[in-house]
Structure 1
Amino acid sequence: MKSRKIDRRTLYTINVIKEAFLTLINQKSYSKITVAQVCREAEITRSTFYLHFDNLTDVLNSVLDDAMMISQNSADSTPLTGEITTDYLKQNESLLPTCQRIANSQKYRALLMDPDLSEYIIGRIAKHERAKSIPQIQKRTGLNQKDAETLFSYTIHGSFAINKRHHFVKDDEWYHEVKMLNQFINAGYEYFKKKN
């Protein structure tokens, strides 16, 4: 996004553009959305669009940043340890993966389900979570940074895949799978901790 002073009118226009983008992503895939369509939906001119954003990727990044900020505000940095029950997960949803916390907001679900964006979104989530998660993995496993990064990448991709398979809906089957996978991950962490 272009850097400029943010006054109330500018903030309103930026939000109108992002909301128009999200409306369109609920109707079609990202690859089929154009700047012209966003402008029509937002009822703005192209020149107004380009005052605030360089391109659609810029809008996408801004929307993802908003989504991750919401997710971060609902997150607890406490890693899952010990016995993980379905009731525990339901009561401590801040401990769920970032992609699932983002999907708690209905307006972001279509974005997360877009087949053209999966790898891009995973990359953005990984970039956002890396600095916090890698040291936690190292602490819990005793692994070096490179190996912790491998586990981190595996966990991010796997979490996204499971959540996407469930369309980011937290039903009983989803809770069962998350519980099982967290137990699997924790057992692996314990193994590495004892080995190291």
Structure 2
Amino acid sequence: MQEPTLDRRTRYTVMVIREAFFELFREVGFNKMTVADICRRADINRGTFYLHYEDKFALLDALIDEALEAAPPLEGNAQASLCQRAPANDEYLMLYADDEVFSRIAARVIEQGAQQTVPSIMERTGLSEQDAYLLFVHNAYGNLAVNRLLGWKRGPEFDRAQTLLNLYSSGGMAALRNRA
């Protein structure tokens, strides 16, 4: 996506593209949606769409990034990783719950979280960067899968699951740190 300006027309165009995307997402899903469908629904021409996004995948990635950025941290855990943060609204929840989009969300979470988390794992365990990355991917996918299973619904069950997953990860880290 090109660098957005704060121009009113640009904000409006991005908003109508976003609204059209989510309407079509509800109706036909991501795989069946085309750029032409989005443009018709948003009442814009394809050239206007391509000024903002390379293709529907770039639009999806921008929306995933927006969802990840908006995801509130867990109570009492402002440092919770992206895979532990529930979607901030129903549109984002729709993305997180969709089978077609889940692996793309996981890939974005891993891409965004690896730079910060992998060095921390290396420091806590003494593992190589490659091995720490493997553990990070395992934990990220596991957290996402469990939270998806729970429907990303905040509450006691979600909080209990996060506590359990954190204990499991911490125990594994401690075992790796203490290995001979």
TM-score by length of 1: 0.81
Question: Any idea what the Cα deviations from partners look like across 1:3-44, whole Å, max 9, x if unmatched?
Answer: 576523113212321232123323332112122221233222
2:3 and 2:170 mapped to 1: Cα distance?
A: 43
Q: Is the CA contact 1:133–1:152 (under 8 Å) kept in the aligned structure 2?
A: yes
* Length, aligned pairs only: 180
Residue 110 of structure 1 pairs with residue 94 of structure 2:
yes
Deviations 1:115-173 (CA, angstroms, capped at 9, x unpaired): 11221211111011110010111122221111111100100110110011112112322
1:188 aligns with 2:137: no
- Higher RCO (C-alpha 8 Å, min separation 6): 1
Compared CA separation, residues 102 and 35, structure 1 to 2 (3 A)? farther
CA contact (8 A) 1:111 1:117 kept: yes
Q: What letter matches 1:146 in structure 2?
A: Q
Contact kept, 8 Å, 1:102 with 1:108, in 2: the verdict is no
**RMSD, matched Cα:** 2.2
Deviation readout 1:78-120 (Å, 9 max, x if unpaired)? xxxxxxxxxxx6x325343414425133220111111112212
Instruction: Tell me if the contact between 1:39 and 1:49 (Cα under 8 Å) persists in the aligned partners.
Output: yes
Equivalent residue, structure 2, for 1:11: 11
SS in 1 for 2:85: helix
Q: Are 1:63 and 2:47 matched, yes or no?
A: no
1:17-166 alignment runs, 5 A limit? 17-71=17-71, 74=72, 91-101=75-85, 103-166=87-150
Over 3 Å counting, the alpha-carbon distance change for 1:4 and 1:98 in structure 2 is closer
Does the residue aligned with 1:173 lie in a helix, a strand or coil?
A: helix
Query: Which amino acid in the other structure matches residue 60 of structure 2?
Result: L
Q: TM-score, normalised by structure 2?
A: 0.87
Give the Cα–Cα distance (whole angstroms) in 2 for the partners of residues 92 and 20 of structure 1.
36
Paired with 1:171 and 1:109, the residues of 2 have a C-alpha distance of: 15
- In 2, the alpha carbon distance for the partners of 1:156 and 1:99 equals 6
For structure 2, list consecutive stretches of 5 or more residues without a partner in the other structure: none
Secondary structure of the residue that 2:120 maps to in structure 1?
helix
Aligned residue for 1:154, secondary structure, equals helix
